[in-house]
Chain A
């Protein structure tokens, strides 16, 4: 990191802002580094996150939605929720802010090699799984993995993120893409129902496979029994946690789950690991 100070954000410029959902609660920001050497230093993998730093407002930990295979700019999809993210939603292309990272551990991409991959995503938790999919489908990486099944649920068609990319995957990739919305909607001809129901319907085999599950707590809660019934073991299920964070490097003391810091030792944990820890997330 710059000057070896892990708290000092890299200056970045907002290259592009896009209103990502029909309810305007999510915006996708494409950020470009002001200095090429910072872009070179920011080496990340899918599943990692960064602190988005808006001087005067603070920082917020947000999952990186882009894949390192996409070039030097970074993509973040941010929900308008608190002080900082509300201000971020008012910022425009060309504005300067900061990015600090990459932080945390990535998804276990090496451990997943040679295996089938099941991805279950709900709502805007899909961000780091977008990163993962882009990375997995890249020609350099695709041959190392078996079948890829991607299930993604949103409340309505208008709440689905990254639509163009999903269409691209549906038509041009060999991944099994399953999109679902909560209730029937005019013009929608794909799945209808919650992610756990779709997981039940498509019956993904746990044989030589790993599952990445990321979504709101209610999705996790109802997905788990489905995976259990299908014979998935807890060390095959990978999850990503969120907790309130400040430092992002395992020092400031608030995001711990038992002895582990979500920011540094996570955010990615296997369900087997989480089963041994307090549910403080």
Chain B
């Protein structure tokens, strides 16, 4: 790890260097005034003062629709009906100013997508390896942020190649990987006062994360104890199963696989899916193991806060608060998780 310094007026030089090797994406202000991920054309478009994007950047590694393979849809052709793997990403990509929570989310999902030799998702891995993560530390967390409760934080470094800390006119450039170090190799070392300023900013940002939730009781409780808790009867009631929480979530990673054909062209694609849908688990026989709204609501929280920690030792949440922000019926993730963690579960 090295701390370098970069004057904001010199960001162009860095971008030029990036652009020669990478397609560069960053959170940019759109015509409606909201900040969302888009391709970066000019450094003047960069936004330094934003909370976070409405939708997470997971699509750069896990596109909403992704072609996995193609086939010739003709059974009279000797090459027909045989799946051919789609090529990987043609050019490397850089995610500039990604929030540390969003980078950590992708890192957490590696334990599922690249679990072992047989569960080695080549599509995920291809894009993970061809992506550079240049993080931007959070200055002013949202009221819905609770990253410090879930092994993350406004300056969290895991999953990043570089962490930028906005010091006003300058950026502290912290290199966190070989790729990052190489990119920042021609920058000068950060002076001590800049390092101190960054450290102070980290402390302040962490203290500004007001929303907190405990997980210790969730961890110590048995699966069935949590699963059968009466709280689910109350908590699920207002949920519409609309699935927007899973859409905006940086760690929601469930998908569907579908075949599409047009004439003799065919392809197999995967699409984002949602555990909020009844169809997600519906058997051909008509039986549905998660047939009720309560079942599906409970699954989402159990998956992130019990099953994933139990199975992979990662929390399926980075505390970005997007689900709370976008929920049409004001379900607050920290409230539900708080209930799961109550000393007297009821």
* Interface locus among B118-126, B235-243, B317-325, B327-335: B118-126
Chain A 227-249 interface mask (CB, 8 Å, partner B; 1/0): 00000000000000011101101
Contact: A58 with B121, CB < 8 Å?
A: no
Contact of A56 among B223, B257, B266 (CB under 8 A): B266
B-side interface residues toward A, CB under 8 Å?
68-69, 71, 73, 75, 80-83, 85, 112-113, 115, 118-123, 222-224, 227, 253-259, 261, 266, 268, 270, 273, 275, 280-285, 287, 289-290, 295, 299, 302-303, 306-308, 310-311
Contact of B253 among A53, A246, A253, A264 (CB under 8 A): A253
Is residue A55 within 8 Å, beta carbon to beta carbon, of the partner chain? Answer: yes
CB under 8 Å from chain B, chain A span 246-281? 246-247, 249-260, 264, 276-281
Query: How far apart sit A11 and B69, CA to CA, in the bound complex (Å)?
Result: 13
Is residue A36 within 8 Å, beta carbon to beta carbon, of the partner chain? Answer: no
Q: Can you name 23 A-B residue pairings with CB atoms under 8 Å?
A: A3-B122, A4-B122, A6-B118, A6-B120, A9-B83, A55-B266, A56-B266, A85-B284, A95-B81, A96-B82, A242-B283, A249-B121, A250-B115, A251-B255, A252-B257, A253-B254, A254-B254, A254-B280, A264-B118, A276-B222, A277-B223, A280-B290, A280-B295
Please name all residues of chain B whose beta carbon is closer than 8 Å to the beta carbon of A85 when the two chains form the complex: 284
Q: Is the interface of A mostly helix, strand, loop or mixed?
A: loop
CB under 8 Å from chain B, chain A span 157-190? none
Query: How far apart sit A256 and B77, CA to CA, in the bound complex (Å)?
Result: 39
Most buried by B among A7, A247, A251: A251
Q: Is the interface of B mostly helix, strand, loop or mixed?
A: mixed
Contact: B227 with A278, CB < 8 Å?
A: yes
Contact: B83 with A95, CB < 8 Å?
A: no
Contact: B261 with A56, CB < 8 Å?
A: yes
Query: How far apart sit A57 and B260, CA to CA, in the bound complex (Å)?
Result: 8
Please name all residues of chain B whose beta carbon is closer than 8 Å to the beta carbon of A247 when the two chains form the complex: 255, 257
Is residue A5 within 8 Å, beta carbon to beta carbon, of the partner chain? Answer: yes
Provided the pairs A3-B85, A249-B119, A254-B281 are in contact, do residues A96 and B75 lie with their beta carbons within 8 angstroms?
yes
Nearest CB on B from A24, distance (A):
17
Most buried by B among A55, A56, A243: A55
Please name all residues of chain B whose beta carbon is closer than 8 Å to the beta carbon of A214 when the two chains form the complex: none
Nearest CB on B from A264, distance (A):
6
Contact of B82 among A82, A98, A243, A257 (CB under 8 A): A98
Q: Which partner residue on chain B sits nearest A11 by CB separation?
A: B82
If A252-B254, A276-B222 are given as contacts, then 19 extra A-B residue pairs at C-beta distance below 8 Å, sorted by A number, are A8-B69, A11-B81, A11-B82, A57-B259, A244-B284, A249-B121, A250-B119, A251-B253, A252-B256, A252-B270, A253-B254, A253-B275, A257-B289, A258-B302, A259-B310, A264-B119, A277-B223, A278-B227, A279-B289
